[in-house]
Structure formats: structure tokens, C-alpha cells
Chains A and B, each alone.
Chain A
Amino acid sequence: MSDAGFTFTIDGLPVQAKPGQTIMEAADDAGIYIPRLCDHEGLRHQGGCRVCTVKASGRSVAACTQPATPDLVVENESEHVNSMRRDLVEMLFHEGNHLCPICEASGNCELQAMAYRLDMTQPTKFPYLEPCRALDASHPDIALDTNRCISCGRCIRASQDIDGKGIFGYVGRGIHRRVAVNGVDLAHTDAAVTDDAISADVCPVGCIIRKRIGFSKPIGSREFDDGLIGQKIESKRK
């Protein structure tokens, strides 16, 4: 394959891409934001949350894993695509226990921010699954509330690939699939608060909590309090 770049379009805008780039990577470079939850800069692509679903020449694909190809016509911000994304985000809200008013992550939470971006303003139509999983507060510096986990697996990949530890992993299947730790509890793992997997921006929700710094930044001056999720990428275009 030659290294020559090529062009494709997202919502009618021409986008430059290099061979081997995914649709999302090329879009990020071009300052076009494609909503995502399980994808995170610096981590392997997973393609699990499906929030980055786009229509690529008529076919629904995950933008984070689908390679860009010359002349591809990508539909990103259409009402149809966004309504599917809203369904997916609502599914994640209903699968776990997401009580924003009492959650430490409120304002920094990507799930919450995504709901705002996708206009999740109506009462939702899905049933609540209300998981009841034990809080793991065993570790001196870290607490884990997997009732708020959205199974994005970012902590798993960060711990494996960046920290070289493998503290987290998926267990179970289907609706019982969840993130678990490599030991009886977090205190019996090599987890350290300095791990990349534990850092503030790896867990998109309030599942991995660093102890003793809760609410140190007040609600109102948090990451998504002054703008929609995705604006950092979109600001590249302006």
C-alpha cells in the first residue's frame, strides 16, 4: 500500500486520511468529533460501546475500528445516527446505577456529558436493571463502585498496555459480563493510585474513585461544565 493520503467525506466535509487510519482517527485530526465512550486516546481501540457508530457509504460501522477508505461517504451527525447513539447511551444509564446528583464524577463524567450532547432530555423509555454489586473500598487510595461501570474496558487496556500490570479484566458473559480485579479485592492487587489505569481521565464515569480528593474541584467548574463533550476536538477546526 502506498503512503499517499486520500480524501473521504464526513457529513459532506472533505477529510484527509492516511492509509491505515480509522475513520475516527482521521476525523479527530480534521477536528470533527465522533461521539465515543470506550475509545480513549493512547489506548487500543475496542469497538464495544458502539456510540461511535456512523453510516459509512450506507453501512453502519464503529468509527473507532473501521478503516477509512478513499471516497467513503460518512454520515456522523444525522438525526438517525444520533438517535441510535442516544439509545445506546440510555442503555448504559439503565444497565447500571447512574445517580448523577450524588456521584463524585458529575461534571467530569463522559456518560453524563454524552447524554447532554445527544439531547437525552426526555424521560427514558427503558427499564432499569438496578445492579447490586458490592463496593470495593479495600484499597487505601482507591475505591471501586462497579454499579457505575459502563464496561468500556478503558481501565483494563490502560493497566495491561500502559502500566504493564493487568489489574482489571472482564469476567462473565452477556448481561453478567463485568469488570473485575486480579485478586480477591483491589487491595490484593498491584494497583497504585499513580497507575495510568487509575488516573482521572481513564475511567469515564464514577466507577474508579481516588480517595480523599472527592469534590476537591467543585461542581460548576468541572470539565464539562463549560461546554459539550467533544469541543476540544472540534476546536481544532476553528
Chain B
Amino acid sequence: MVEAHSTGNGVAAPKDARNSRAITGICDRFGNDPHRMLDILRAVQDRFRWISPTAMETIAEATGLTRIAVEGVASFYSFLSLEPKGAITVRLCDDIVDRFAGLDDVVKSFEDELGIKLGTTSVDGRFSLEYTPCIGMCDQAPAAMINDIVVTRLTKDKARSIARALQSDARPQDLISRQFDALSPYERVTMAVDSNIKHAGEVLLGPVPRDAGLEKASVLQPEQIVAEVEASGLRGCGGAGFTTGAKWRLAAAEADTDRFVFCNADEGEPGTFKDRVLLTERADLLIEGMTIAARAVGASEGLIYLRGEYVYLQEHLESVLTERRARGVLGTDIMGKAGFDFDIRVQMGAGAYICGEEGALISSCEGLPGEPKTRPPYPVNRGYLGHPTVVNNVETFCHAARILDRGDEWFHAIGTKGSHGTKLFSVSGDCLNPGVYELPYGLSVAELLRMVSGEDAAAVLVGGPSGTMISRDSFQRKLTFDDLATGGAIIVFSGKRNILEIVEYYMSFFVHESCGYCTPCRVGNVFLQKAIQKFRKGNADSSDIDYLRDLSATIIETSRCGLGVTSPNPILSTLENFPLVYSAVSKKSEDGMKATFDIQSAIEEARGIAKRRSYIFDRDYGK
């Protein structure tokens, strides 16, 4: 299963040749097209469990790239590995919500039963055990990916029995159902993961007539579709809130023969999972919305960029696409209208939060590392392969389809001034009813907390780590674009949670997910994380609060994309709303010296090498 290291001796040669043929076969399958690099590398990873140096050379040759260019892509994505991984890779979601829900016990169960430590691969190559950031299951945490399968609501015992089953040769899919192979793609998805719809609104999660919006759009002129979406007041639901109609208008106005409609299904903001539910329950509506957008801007090709963590949804989405082609609502001459052609391909991601940024998403689709693009030009002017590209969030496309069916006035009348329609909220953390809530814009956080039975909340993180952490005295604030704008993540924290632990986790998340292209985000976030660690260790003084603010300001002002612009938010919003948390742990040092020098950590390595233990610093000395 696992490709052997090329030894250069004669024995390995037939195997090397066979592997090399398998890899060129994979490259052939994707037309040896360097733009399909991510698909090629995913396929090689799946087959060999790693991307070996020889594999990189073979791929480079087949696609006409340099080996270093292939390595640049392979080393960028978390789900691609330059070291051999186990035939079964268990990726435990280590989001803060999972940690608070008992992740430590789950880790221990897996370590015990698989006989390996976290972050390692078993000697026989059967298992790897590792952490991965939020996989979009915060409403049923702790959760894990086992190869392409998702398991949720893990406990110490459940984890133990899963690991035992895997040890006795169960396939990952057998963990979902013994009849897995006989299930439909939709059943496979919903047996693994609950949709957890706790409140259905009238736009998306209530009853939705099939293709009613597309039917109306198919007899409208493109310009009329754009005008209707514009008049509805629909704004992007991924977080940034750009006016959807304006985006479509800009792309339609470009003089180009090729235009593209991309769906951003890379919801990676920790605590967000509403697109997971739409992709599961409203896949038809999403594709309908994309098809409408395609007619509006004149695109004939589309792409759903599905985050690597949601690979378990791929088969389901593809079955919906196939079924729509068969029904004549996707493909050529859609709804019988000659020349209304549009088709969609699912592009898998491979574990990179940054690919939710639209430029990075396009880079990734082009087979490059997921680095944001220089703006201008904007994607609507010159996006995918230089052509005008509309990138919208899953929820945005779903809304657009409903707007075409029910009319702009109907949608505009829901919500508040400037924030029209409904919004899906992904609620998780310390509340009794985590799940997805579809609510009109304009509710207060307090009202939402009552609905989710989270009245004990001491802190609520609105919009995930790149959003705002608010305290009790701000729970009257409203969930709108003008007050608390959010892509939909609502994470509830009770009074027993340590705010600085939460902040440190989120900073480590941004450090892990920064693409590294620009200095402030690549380096500055590491410094912010280290500074928070200093507070947690009790080594901070009041000047460190100024340090946090000044460094954050530089990162925000000089970063190249939205990740760096929002990454200091966990710190800045807690400094503002929970100032006592910081002042309580910062103290003036007694000798007037800065506590930046920590002698313990400075000599730790040397003491380890010398195998000398310290009576003063090793607390367990002599015990």
C-alpha cells in the first residue's frame, strides 16, 4: 500500500516502475494539466498515502512543471503529506469547542488502542493519528475524520470502540453502517453527520419548491436577473458582505468570451458549519442558484470548491449534479432554452483555511498553492485563468435562487435596513441546543441565546475568531451587517471557560493557516501567539498590553489579505470587552526588570542534553 523509498537496488525496481506507471496514469486522468495539480496530488496521496520525492518528479515531468513547483503545492496543503502516512489516517478535530467537549479523553482512547502517539504513524504503516483544525462539526463535537469518513459525538468509549474496530480491519465506512455500500450518497452523508436544523426560516430551510427560481430566470434577460438580485438587497453570506448583485453586474460587464461562476464551499472559519447543512439538505437549491448566476453573467462553466474536510459530501454533490443533468436543468440547453449551457465540477480542497479567501480559492483551482492574488485586478474582472469570475458563498447562491422565485420585494421586506433576508447561524459551544438556525437579520445576541438555551453565556464569539468576542454587557447588540456582521458562526462560552486559553487557541489557528506570503501575517501572528502565552504563564506586565495593541495594528494595516486583517481580532476584541482578564494576569515585576527572559526555558534544552535535573525548576525532583 505504502510506496517504498526508492532504494536504488534491483529488487525495488519493478515496484518503482509500477508506482511510476500508476502516477503517470493519474496525471493522464487529469489531462496532464498543471491546473489540475490539486486533483493529481490528492489522487496520489490517496493511493500511496504520501507524495514521495520520486512521485513529485514523475508529476513534474507529466505536467511540464519543475519539481520545486510541484513541491510548492504539495507542501502547502495540510492533507497532502511529504512523509508516508498510515493507510488509515485519523484526524481529530482540535477546535477549542472539541477541547471543551472532552477531546483529551478521545485522544487518549485512540492513542491506547492504536498504540501510537498523536502526531505519529505506526511502524507497520497501518495508522496515523493527528490533529486538524475545525472540520465543521462543532455542533456535534468532538469529531474526527477517518480517511474520508466523518465520525462525530466522540466519547472516551466511542473512540475506543472505533479504534478497536479499525484494529480488527473494519473499513472506515463500516463505522457509519454495516450496509454502507448499499446506501444512497445522501443516506451515507446523513447517517454520518446530523444536519441539526434547529430553526427553519422561510427562505432556505423551510419548504423550497424545486427549480422554481430557475424556471423564472430562464425566461428573463440576464440584465433583469442582475437587477432583481440587486433590488433584493442580498449581500454575500460568507462574512465580507459584498452586494451580490453588484458583483454579478461587474462580471457581466467585462468584455470576455469566458466567464466563470464559482461556489465557495470552503467554510473554514472555526465554529461555522451552516454550509455543510445547505450542501447536505439544499444541494439542488445551491446548484439552481449557481445556474441562475451563470445565466446572469454569461458563464458556461462553474465549480464548487469543496473544503477537504467535507470530502464525505463529494459523492452526494456529484450525484445531485448527475441527476440535474439528466433532468435537463444542468448541462446544455437548460430548461429547453437553446444556448443556455452551464455545467459544474466539484473541486476538492486539501486542508487550507486560506482557500476561503476568493483569490486564494482561485489560485487553488488553478493548481497553485492557495495564496491570495494581488488586487486589483479583482476576480470579477480577471479571476480564474485571467477570466471574469464570480465567487459566492453557498448560502448566497441559495438565497439568489429563492429571490428569483419569490421576488426581490419579498426578500427585501425580511430583516432590517441594510441587512435583508434571513441568515443561517451555526451555533455551538456551551448551550443546550447547538445546531443551525435560520433567522431574519436584526435579532439581538440575547434573543438568539434564549433560542439556543445558552443563557449562562459569559462570552459569545460572533463570526468565529476573525469576528468579535463580546461579553454580557453587549448581548443586546444586533446581528446585522451594521452592528455585529458575521458569516454565521456563533460560539457560546460559559463563565467556566478561560478566555486567554480560547484566545491562544485561535491565534495558534491563524499561525497554522497563514499562507506565509506576506511578512506581517506570517511573522506577526507568531509574535502575537507568543505574547498571549506570556500572559498565560503570568510573565506579562502592563506594557505587554500596549505591545499587543501596537503589533495588532501593524498586522492589520500591512497584511495583504483578509486573514491578516482579521487575525488579531481575538486579541483586540477580548482586550476591549474583557480587559480584566488581561490586567488580572499582568503584574509589575518586583525587580523592575522585564520578565521577557525566562531562564527555565532558556536552559531547558541544555539540561535535557546533560540529563541534569534541577532542584529548583523540576517540580517533581526527588519525588
Binding site for B on A (CB under 8 A): 45, 47-51, 53, 60, 62, 65, 67, 84, 87-88, 91-92, 94-95, 125-127, 129, 151, 166-177, 180-184
Contacts and interface: CB of A to CB of B under 8 A. Distances in A.
Contact of B558 (A67, A88, A173, A183): A88
Contact of B516 (A50, A60, A62, A174): A174
Interface residues of B, number: 39
Nearest to B547: A125
Contact of A171 (B71, B515, B526, B527): B71
B426 interface: no
Contacts of B559: 50
Given A47-B518, A175-B522, 5 more contacts: A60-B558, A65-B374, A95-B522, A95-B523, A129-B523
Contacts of A48: 517-519, 560
A50 B515 contact: no
Given A127-B527, A183-B67, A50 B72 contact: no
Contact of B68 (A92, A151, A168): A168
A175 B514 contact: yes
Contacts of B522: 95, 151, 174-175, 177
A38 B215 CA distance: 52
A47 B374 contact: yes
A113 to B, nearest CB: 17
Contacts of A170: 72, 369, 516
Contacts of A88: 519-520, 554, 558
Given A49-B519, A169-B71, A174 B514 contact: yes
A51 B304 CA distance: 36
B66 A182 contact: yes
A60 B550 CA distance: 16
Given A47-B374, A65-B374, A92-B523, A173 B518 contact: no
B560 A129 contact: no
Interface string B509-535: 001111111111011101100100000
Among A166, A172, A175, A181, which residue has the most Cβ atoms of chain B within 10 A?
A: A175
12 contacts: A87-B558, A95-B523, A127-B596, A129-B526, A166-B69, A172-B75, A172-B76, A172-B516, A176-B516, A177-B516, A182-B68, A183-B67
A174 to B, nearest CB: 4
Given A91-B524, A127-B530, A173 B369 contact: yes
A175 B526 contact: yes
B443 interface: no
A167 B68 CA distance: 8
B203 interface: no
Given A48-B517, A171-B75, A180 B68 contact: yes
B519 A174 contact: no
Given A84-B558, A87-B551, A169-B72, A177 B515 contact: yes
A174 B524 contact: no
Contact of A126 (B513, B527, B557): B527
A67 B378 CA distance: 13
Nearest to B71: A171
Nearest to B75: A171
B376 A67 contact: yes
Interface of B: 53, 66-69, 71-72, 75-77, 352, 369, 374, 376, 511-520, 522-524, 526-527, 530, 547, 550-551, 554, 557-560, 596
> Which 10 residue pairs across A and B have the least CB separation, nearest first?
A177-B516, A169-B68, A182-B68, A91-B523, A166-B66, A174-B514, A87-B554, A171-B75, A50-B558, A60-B557
A180 B71 contact: yes
Contact of A173 (B352, B520, B560): B352
Contact of A45 (B72, B374, B527, B558): B374
Contacts of A84: 554, 557-558
A183 B71 CA distance: 10
A84 B564 CA distance: 14
Contacts of A171: 68, 71-72, 75-76
A175 to B, nearest CB: 5
Nearest to B66: A166
B472 to A, nearest CB: 34
A62 B560 contact: yes
B523 A175 contact: yes
Contacts of B376: 67
B309 to A, nearest CB: 16
B527 A91 contact: yes
Nearest to B352: A173
A175 B567 CA distance: 14
Contacts of A95: 519, 522-523
A184 B71 CA distance: 12
Contacts of A183: 67
Contacts of A169: 66, 68-69, 71-72
Nearest to B513: A174
A169 B369 CA distance: 12
Nearest to B374: A65
Nearest to A65: B374
B518 A50 contact: yes
Given A50-B559, A169-B71, A171-B71, A91 B374 contact: no
Nearest to B553: A84
Among B53, B514, B558, which residue has the most Cβ atoms of chain A within 10 A?
A: B558
Contacts of B71: 169, 171, 180
A127 B523 CA distance: 11
B67 A53 contact: no
B260 to A, nearest CB: 23
A173 B75 contact: yes
A60 B76 CA distance: 28
Contacts of A176: 516
A167 B596 CA distance: 41
A173 B515 contact: yes
Contacts of A127: 527, 530, 596
Among B67, B68, B72, B554, which residue has the most Cβ atoms of chain A within 10 A?
A: B68
A69 to B, nearest CB: 10
Contacts of A94: 523, 527
A174 B518 contact: no
Nearest to B557: A60
B350 to A, nearest CB: 11
A182 B54 CA distance: 13
A12 B518 CA distance: 29
Nearest to A86: B554
A157 B63 CA distance: 20
Among B77, B514, B519, which residue has the most Cβ atoms of chain A within 10 A?
A: B519
A113 B374 CA distance: 27
Contacts of A45: 374
A92 B519 contact: yes
Nearest to B375: A65
Contacts of A62: 560
B512 A174 contact: yes
Nearest to B67: A182
A173 B516 contact: yes
Contacts of A67: 376
A91 B528 CA distance: 12
B73 to A, nearest CB: 9
B187 to A, nearest CB: 36
B520 A50 contact: yes
B511 A174 contact: yes
A47 B522 CA distance: 14
